[in-house]
Chain A
Amino acid sequence: MNDHHAVFQATPLTRRKQCSEVIAMVVFLLMTSLIVLPLLLIVGYLVYQAWPILSLDFLLTSPKHGMRAGGIWSPLLGTVYLVVLSLVIATPIGVLAAVFLNEYARDNWFTRIVNLAVINLAGVPSIVHALFGLGAFVLFAGLGKSILAASLTLAIMTLPVIIASTNEALAAVPMAFREACWNVGATRWQTIRHIVLPNSMSGILTGVILQVSRAAGETAPIMFTGAVFFKAIREGHLFAYGLFDQCMALSMHLFTISTQVPDVPKALPYGIAVVLLSTVLAVNALAIIVRVYLRSRKKW
C-alpha cells in the first residue's frame, strides 16, 4: 500500500521537472509575443501618424502640387496594374512547371538542375532582378520602360516561389490516390485533372495570393523597368494606363516623396505606408480565408 502511494508522491526531482516545465513554457510564450509586438507597434504608429490625411479622397485623387498635396490614386492604380499583370504572367508558368516537376518528371540530372535553378532564383536579390529586367525586357526586347517590362520583371521574381509553393501543395496529395487512378487505367493527365489539381487548389491559391503582397511591396525591380517619379493620368478612370505606358507605383512613390521631394506634409508618406501595409495585410488575410475555407472542404 505504502509503496503504491510513494510512486505518485512528488520527489525533489519531480519538483525540478515541474519548475523547468513552467520556465520553458513562459520563455516560449514570450518569444511568441515578441513576434506580434513589432507588427502592432508598426501598424499603430503608422495609423497614428497618418490619421489626419486618411480619407476616401486620399485614395481617389492623384498627387498635386509637386506631390506635396493630393492623394495617391495614380500610384495605387499603377501598383494594381503591376501586381495583376505580373501574376497573370507568373501563375500559369509557375503552376504548370510545378505540375511537370512533381507529376511527370523523373528524378534525373535535368530535373535536378531545374530544381536547383528554382531554389537559386528564389534567393536572387530583387535589385539583381531589376538589372536583369532592365537588360532583358527594357533594352533587349525593346519594351522600353513600361508596365509590361516591369510586370515581367516582377513575374520572374515571384515565379520560383510560386513553383515552390505549388510543388508543396501537389506533394500533399497522397501518392495512393495517383496509384489508384493509374490502376484503373487513367492517364497521368486525367489523374492530375480530376484528382490532384482539385485537391491541391487551396495550397496553390494560397501560394499565389501571398505573392501579391510581395509584388506590391517591391521597389527595386520596378524602379528601372517601368515605374516613374510622376505621371499624370485621367482620374476616375480604371484603364488610365496602357501596357506600354510607364506608371507610378505605391512603393516607388513612398520612396520618392520621402527622399526626393522637400516640404512634403508629414502625414503624407505615413498615409501611403498605411495603404500599402493594409493592402498587404488584407491580401494575406484573404489567403488565410481561402485556405481555411478550402481546408474545411478537405476530402480525406
Chain B
Amino acid sequence: MVTSAPPIVEVAELHVRYGRCAALKGITLDVRRNEILGIIGPAQSGKTTLLKTINRTIDDVPGAVVTGTVKVEGKDVRQVEDVFALRRKIGMVAPLPVGLPLSIFDNVAFAPRMAGVRNRRELAERVERCLRQAALWDEVKDRLDSLGTKLSGGQQQRLTIARALSHDPEILCLDEFSIAIDPVTTMRIEDVLKELRTRITIILVTNLIQQARRLAGRTAFLLNGELVELGRTEVIFSDNPANRKTYEYVNGIFG
C-alpha cells in the first residue's frame, strides 16, 4: 500500500524545546498523500509534539520553542495566515477520548458551525456521514440529543474521530487513540481507518507496535526526539531494518 504521490506533509530539521528540555532534535520526514504513516516509539520520544507542530497547537503550549519547518501541502505552517483553516485541514484525535459537554449531534456539528455552516440540513447530513464513518451511527442514531460525555469510553473515542472528520480534513492524526479503549473497539476503529485511507492521509502515532504493523504502509521510529528510521513497514518489522535499535524496539528487547 505504499504510494508514490507527492508528500502532503514535509518536516525538515524540526527542533522543539520546552524550556530547557528538548523534545524533538532535528526531525526530517515526509508524509505521502493517502498513506497511513505509522509513528512508533517509547514514551517521551516526541511523537505527540510532532503532531502538535503540524496543526500548530504547539502555539498554545507555554514555553515551546520551534525551529525548522513543517510544510502542509507545500506551505510552511508558520507562514499560514488562517491557522484555523489549517487546523480544519487536519483532524486530530487525542489519546484520551474527549466528548465535549454538548449533545452527540452538537459534538460533531461543532466544527462546521464554528466554521460558519448554519444550514440545518447540511449539518444533519454531515453529522450522519461522520458518525457513520466513525462506526458510531447505529449505536447513537436514536439519541443524538443526549450528552456526548455520557457515552462509554470507546464510543467517546469514536465520537472524537467523528468530530475530527467533521471538518473534512485531508490529514487525520491519531495520537495513541486506543490507549483508553477495549480491544474490540480498537479493532472496529482500525477497520474504520482502513476504509478512510483511500480518501485521506492518516498519521497514526501508536504505542501498540502491532497496530502500526497492521495498518501502516510506512513506519517511522522515534526515540528521544530523534528519528531513528523511516521506511516501509515490512522493512521496519523485518529481521534486518536499517538500524539495530529499530529491531530491538520492535522485538521488545527494550522500550
Binding site for B on A (CB under 8 A): 106-107, 176-177, 179-187, 190, 194-195, 198-199, 299-300
Contact residues of B between 90 and 108, Cβ < 8 Å to A: 91-92, 94, 96, 98-102
Q: Is B138 an interface residue (CB 8 A)?
A: no
- Given A180-B94, A180-B160, A300-B149: A185 in contact with B84 (beta carbons within 8 A): yes
Q: B residues within 8 A CB of A180?
A: 94, 98, 100, 160, 163
Q: Secondary structure of the A side of the interface? A: helix
Instruction: Find out whether the CB atom of A183 lies under 8 angstroms from the CB atom of B94.
Output: yes
Instruction: Please give me the residue from chain B that is nearest to A183 by CB atom.
Output: B92
A199–B166 alpha-carbon span in the complex (Å) = 23
Known: A107-B62, A179-B94, A180-B98. 11 other contacts (CB 8 A): A106-B62, A179-B57, A181-B100, A181-B114, A182-B60, A184-B88, A184-B91, A184-B111, A186-B111, A199-B101, A300-B147
Q: A residues within 8 A CB of B110?
A: 181, 184, 186, 194
Per-residue contact bits, chain B 72-101, to A (CB 8 Å; 1 contact, 0 not): 000000000000111110011010101111
Instruction: Find out whether the CB atom of A186 lies under 8 angstroms from the CB atom of B101.
Output: no
Instruction: Please give me the residue from chain A that is nearest to B90 by CB atom.
Output: A183
Instruction: Find out whether the CB atom of A184 lies under 8 angstroms from the CB atom of B114.
Output: yes
Binding site for A on B (CB under 8 A): 55, 57, 60, 62, 84-88, 91-92, 94, 96, 98-102, 110-111, 114-115, 147, 149, 160, 163-164, 166-167
A186–B86 alpha-carbon span in the complex (Å) = 11
- Given A176-B98, A195-B101: A183 in contact with B84 (beta carbons within 8 A): no
From A107, A195, A198, A300, residue with most partner B Cβ within 10 Å? A300
Instruction: Find out whether the CB atom of A183 lies under 8 angstroms from the CB atom of B55.
Output: yes
Instruction: Please give me the residue from chain A that is nearest to B60 by CB atom.
Output: A182
Contact of B57 among A182, A198, A300 (CB under 8 A): A182
Instruction: Find out whether the CB atom of A300 lies under 8 angstroms from the CB atom of B101.
Output: yes
Instruction: Find out whether the CB atom of A182 lies under 8 angstroms from the CB atom of B149.
Output: no
Contact of A185 among B62, B96, B167 (CB under 8 A): B167
Instruction: Find out whether the CB atom of A187 lies under 8 angstroms from the CB atom of B101.
Output: no
Min Cβ gap A196→B in Å is: 10
In the complex, the 4 A-B pairs of residues with the closest C-beta atoms, listed nearest first: A299-B101, A184-B111, A185-B88, A185-B87
Q: A residues within 8 A CB of B149?
A: 299-300
Min Cβ gap B41→A in Å is: 22
Min Cβ gap B232→A in Å is: 30
Contact of B114 among A176, A177, A179, A186 (CB under 8 A): A186
A179–B98 alpha-carbon span in the complex (Å) = 9
Q: A residues within 8 A CB of B101?
A: 177, 195, 198-199, 299-300
Contact of A195 among B60, B100, B166, B167 (CB under 8 A): B100
A181–B38 alpha-carbon span in the complex (Å) = 25
Q: B residues within 8 A CB of A106?
A: 62
Min Cβ gap B106→A in Å is: 9
18 contacts between A and B (CB under 8 A): A176-B94, A177-B98, A179-B57, A179-B98, A180-B98, A181-B100, A183-B57, A184-B114, A184-B167, A185-B84, A185-B85, A185-B86, A186-B111, A187-B114, A195-B102, A199-B101, A299-B102, A300-B149
Q: B residues within 8 A CB of A181?
A: 100, 110, 114
A186–B160 alpha-carbon span in the complex (Å) = 15
Q: A residues within 8 A CB of B100?
A: 177, 180-181, 195
Q: A residues within 8 A CB of B147?
A: 299-300
Contact of A300 among B86, B99, B163 (CB under 8 A): B99
Instruction: Find out whether the CB atom of A183 lies under 8 angstroms from the CB atom of B60.
Output: no
Min Cβ gap A226→B in Å is: 43
Instruction: Find out whether the CB atom of B166 lies under 8 angstroms from the CB atom of A184.
Output: yes
A299–B91 alpha-carbon span in the complex (Å) = 24
Q: B residues within 8 A CB of A179?
A: 57, 60, 94, 98
